[in-house]
Chains A and B, each alone.
Chain A
């Protein structure tokens, strides 16, 4: 006879409560998996990837999702099963008096250890590609984070940053498609973080440091630049846009922006895409 600490009355009611609680815990893996399956239908999932290394990153994400998903389902279902089966209200004998099992401990230490170590080693190459193997090229643009904007500086016709023909822009980054692109990331004041979700890149901009960020964009389009490190009250406002376009369009746009920058006579305003902004009076 065991002391029953549940304050429920009859054994039948106790069993019903046990079933209820077990099912509540079963809801965790069921609903958990359901959320991850349903979300992509509502377009709540990884954003479109338009970068070369993005495939590796997304692949790793999905691989880890699958692995953790399996473990998640297994452990949570096991939890449910034990709660269901070993309810005191439906138990016939005493609990198993066992302090553990050396063999089992070894197994469930070695297997996760090997898996985790494998995971770590498997990813080193991708990390090195994205963060360590910088392409040997001059910087394509200098991006300076500032409260609360992204100041851009293209090298201009002479191809060198820091000369009078540099092109200065704000928040409007253009990138030629299918080419290596190297950003020199700086910050003028506090920490910012240069995050382009669709290109799967993110790098903190640290004042006092010049950090290279590189990628290759594979598809034309307009994508967001988001600031991903708290930089003050306007952190949410640090929205930029990156436009990926063909090399020819990119050159044309550069020329147009440069001509605007050098204007000595009044001319109509150009929008972010280079087209004239239609003004009404």
Chain B
């Protein structure tokens, strides 16, 4: 691309120059700075994407090991059974606690949070707002590279004495602070805390970048209320991260000092663990829970808002219709984020905190269902009256809505404190969060991958195999997770290595076996996705700038965009989602299409 022939003028206060420096760098240094320590947001976004997809595989395999034990406890585990050869392949119970702990940790901190903000946020934000890169490219590069020490910390924790962290991803003390109570509470837990801190640093660097970029680097004409929903979602998610994360970092540090320096933030007096009296005391286990959930509740919104934004963009493209209720959608995201700060106690209804708080948190938690409901209705309103194209991306986006309805409604049971007395720590909860995080966000992530793949790699993914991938994933995920609601109603608890210890749960074993078969199918289906992904990168049909005929700014750039993104200066004249505008021959108008008199009049008349 060459800016020299651009017909627009470069504004003098552009942050970065588009042309690379003229001097010839040494080959190794050039390779490192181009592909490894790149400051180009698109390369960083792809680095995040590849890393997180790899960890997705790790997390998925850990989940299969968990499901195996739940379905057939104490039987010979495939592959992992070799570690327990003397027992005939039967896993040890502390190994099981490690499996589900690391499954959740990997999925939350190494997959979902980085893929939404790090991969999609990085790649899309400058493109969708018309900027040439992020506000702080070096900071951006660092935010990716801070993930690598975290990868090493979490990865290494599997091989230290006592194994990886095994106190649940929630890491409640005293179980997590005391190596006598749990083998993984030794070096494994320390490495876990270190890894968490590093992921936190990476997120903070990212969120600062995203907020600044979105506020300051929008193209001319791109007002806040002309931003696509993806950007609104990324923006508000970044704010959430910035305000919530410091609390987790502080809490993690406190737990680290409890474990290594003998402080007693979370250790109560007079504790006897594994027949050894504890040396320090005067602390409260509940303090950790408050601090942890103060972050981790906003975290769950961090883990879904970007997907909600992406789904809005994808659905409008493939329904050929404007988004129904743009401003309500924006306000809903803000509402979810704001209310998200005052609901953390709903994770702690049974924890021993003052029961009066059970009332207050119940009210706020019930209310947070409202903006999500409004969003769902607006999505339905978006496809109503549309011309729906069933592409793979659209199918995943539709399934996001369908599955989010299930996940969101199941949340109402938990918000009801008396009902929560029964379903807390049962599979009802497991069903709820897997529906919102996997059937929701992960489907949104796949939708985003299929949708923006052409922009990232210049080729489209294979639609047929994409639909096969969708169909099988959809069937298997519902097979795996839907019946967990019923298990929860029975009172089937979480995190049990062997639930059939209880005669009352004996008859649930066939159901659990069925769910495990579905889980195996679900993970195996991802092979199709992996092959499609890598094959299409090199052999897929070449995509032009705008294969989906979408109207947002990224589709005006080349596929993939060069350094500097746009080969012209984007100027924005209209909002996103201008599809099927009456009186216009094409069924969409790009955000950069200037208005003519007739269109302006027609648009004004049609606006509801």
Contact = CB atoms under 8 A, between A and B. Distances in A.
Given A97-B582, A123-B417, A2 B387 contact: yes
Contacts of A28: 402, 406, 478
A59 to B, nearest CB: 9
A276 interface: no
A210 B284 CA distance: 13
A208 B369 contact: no
A6 B369 CA distance: 34
A58 B372 CA distance: 26
B378 interface: yes
Interface string A26-37: 001001100110
Interface string A193-228: 101010011111011110100000000000010111
B358 A94 contact: no
Given A117-B366, A208-B285, A236 B499 contact: yes
B580 A96 contact: yes
A44 B508 contact: yes
Given A75-B380, A190-B178, A224-B502, A132 B385 contact: no
A230 interface: yes
Contacts of B496: 235-236
A233 B97 contact: yes
Nearest to A102: B608
Interface in A48-102: 56-57, 60-61, 64-65, 67-68, 71-72, 75-76, 78-79, 82-83, 86-88, 91, 94-102
A194 to B, nearest CB: 10
B319 A86 contact: yes
A230 B168 contact: yes
Contacts of A126: 418
Contacts of B358: 127, 131
Interface stretch (A104-112, A156-164, A251-259): A104-112
A97 B577 CA distance: 10
B395 A113 contact: no
B145 interface: no
Interface stretch (A16-24, A135-143, A171-179, A260-268): A16-24
B390 A86 contact: no
Contacts of B284: 208
B355 A224 contact: no
Contacts of A7: 391, 463-464
A110 to B, nearest CB: 10
Contact of A116 (B175, B369, B483): B369
Contacts of B320: 2, 88, 94-95
Contact of B608 (A2, A91, A100, A197): A100
B76 interface: no
Interface string B355-389: 11011001100110110011011101101111111
Contact of B413 (A61, A132, A195, A231): A61
Given A5-B391, A76-B405, A43 B507 contact: yes
A149 interface: no
Contacts of A31: 478, 482
A196 B383 CA distance: 46
A127 B362 contact: yes
Given A46-B490, A226-B493, A99 B419 contact: no
B72 interface: no
Interface residues of B, number: 126
B206 to A, nearest CB: 31
A232 B587 contact: no
Contact of A5 (B426, B508, B549, B577): B549
A76 B326 CA distance: 22
A72 B326 contact: no
Nearest to B327: A100
Interface residues of A, number: 104
B593 interface: no
A181 interface: no
B383 A86 contact: yes
Nearest to A148: B93
A169 interface: no
Nearest to A2: B587
B402 A25 contact: yes
A191 to B, nearest CB: 5
Contacts of A61: 413, 419, 422, 489
A78 B587 contact: no
A144 to B, nearest CB: 11
Contacts of B581: 97
18 contacts: A5-B318, A5-B549, A21-B390, A64-B413, A68-B409, A86-B387, A86-B388, A96-B580, A97-B322, A105-B325, A113-B367, A113-B370, A116-B370, A119-B366, A119-B412, A191-B175, A228-B493, A230-B168
Given A234-B93, A236-B501, 12 more contacts: A5-B318, A21-B395, A25-B398, A44-B508, A44-B511, A61-B413, A68-B413, A86-B319, A87-B387, A97-B582, A127-B355, A208-B284
Interface of A: 1-7, 17-18, 21, 24-25, 28, 31-32, 35-36, 39, 42-47, 56-57, 60-61, 64-65, 67-68, 71-72, 75-76, 78-79, 82-83, 86-88, 91, 94-102, 104-105, 108-109, 112-113, 116-117, 119-121, 123-124, 126-128, 130-132, 147, 188-191, 193, 195, 197, 200-204, 206-209, 211, 224, 226-237, 239
Interface of B: 92-94, 96-97, 166-168, 172, 174-175, 178, 181-183, 268-274, 281, 284-286, 317-328, 350-352, 355-356, 358-359, 362-363, 366-367, 369-370, 373-374, 376-378, 380-381, 383-391, 395, 398-399, 401-402, 405-406, 409-410, 412-413, 415-419, 421-422, 424-426, 463-464, 471, 474, 478, 482-483, 485-487, 489-491, 493-499, 501-502, 504, 507-508, 511, 547-549, 577, 579-582, 587, 606-608
Q: What 8 A-B pairs have minimum CB-CB distances, sorted nearest first?
A: A208-B268, A96-B385, A197-B491, A233-B94, A100-B325, A131-B355, A95-B580, A236-B496
